[in-house]
Amino acid sequence: MTFDSTVLQGKKALITGGTQGIGAAVARQLAGMGARVIAAGLPPAGGWTEDLPLGKTGIRMAALDVSDPHSVSRLFSELDGLDILVNCAGIIRRGAEHEVDVFEQVIAVNLTGTMRVCSAARALLGQDGGAIVNLASMLSFFGGALVPAYAASKGGIAQLTRSLALAYAAEGIRVNAVAPGWIATPLTQALQEDEERSRALLQRTPLGRWGKPEDVAHVVAFLCTPAASFMTGAVVPVDGGYLAA
Ligand code: NAD
Closest among 50, 46, 51, 53 to 31, alpha carbons compared: 53
Q: What stretch of H or E contains 175?
A: strand 173-180
Residue ranges covered by each domain of the chain: 12-244
Closest CA relative to residue 243, chosen from 181, 195, 192, 190: 181
Minimal-distance CA residue to ligand 1 atom 41: 183
C-beta of residue 137 within 8 angstroms of C-beta of residue 161: no
Among 72, 187, 189, 243, name the best residue to mutate to test ligand 1's pocket (greatest count of ligand atoms within 8 A of Cβ). 187
Task: Determine whether 189 is exposed, middle or buried from the number of CB atoms within 10 Å of its CB (0-12, 13-18, 19+).
Answer: exposed
The residue annotated as part of the active site, out of 3, 103, 150, 182, is 150
pLDDT interval class at 1 (50, 70, 90): low
Share of the chain above pLDDT 70, in %: 100
Distance 56 CA to ligand 1 centre (A): 21
Per residue in 138-159, pLDDT tens? 999 999 999 999 999 999 999 9
| pLDDT given for residue 127 in this prediction | 77
Atom of ligand 1 at shortest range from CA of 39: 9
Q: What average pLDDT is seen over the chain?
A: 97
Which amino acid type is present at position 151?
A
Residue 21 CA, ligand 1 centroid: distance in Å: 7
Q: Name the 3-class secondary structure at 167.
A: helix
Can you give the pTM of this predicted structure? 0.98
Closest CA to 224 of 67, 11, 32, 80: 11
Ligand 1 atom index nearest CA of 92 = 34
H helices of the chain, in order, are: 21-32, 69-77, 100-107, 113-125, 148-168, 189-193, 195-204, 213-224
236 φ, ψ to 5°? -100, 115
- CATH architecture of residue range(s) 12-244: 3-Layer(aba) Sandwich (3.40)
Distance 100 CA to ligand 1 centre (A): 21
Closest ligand 1 atom to the C-alpha of 22? 26
Q: Reduced to 3 states, what is the DSSP secondary structure of residue 6? A: coil
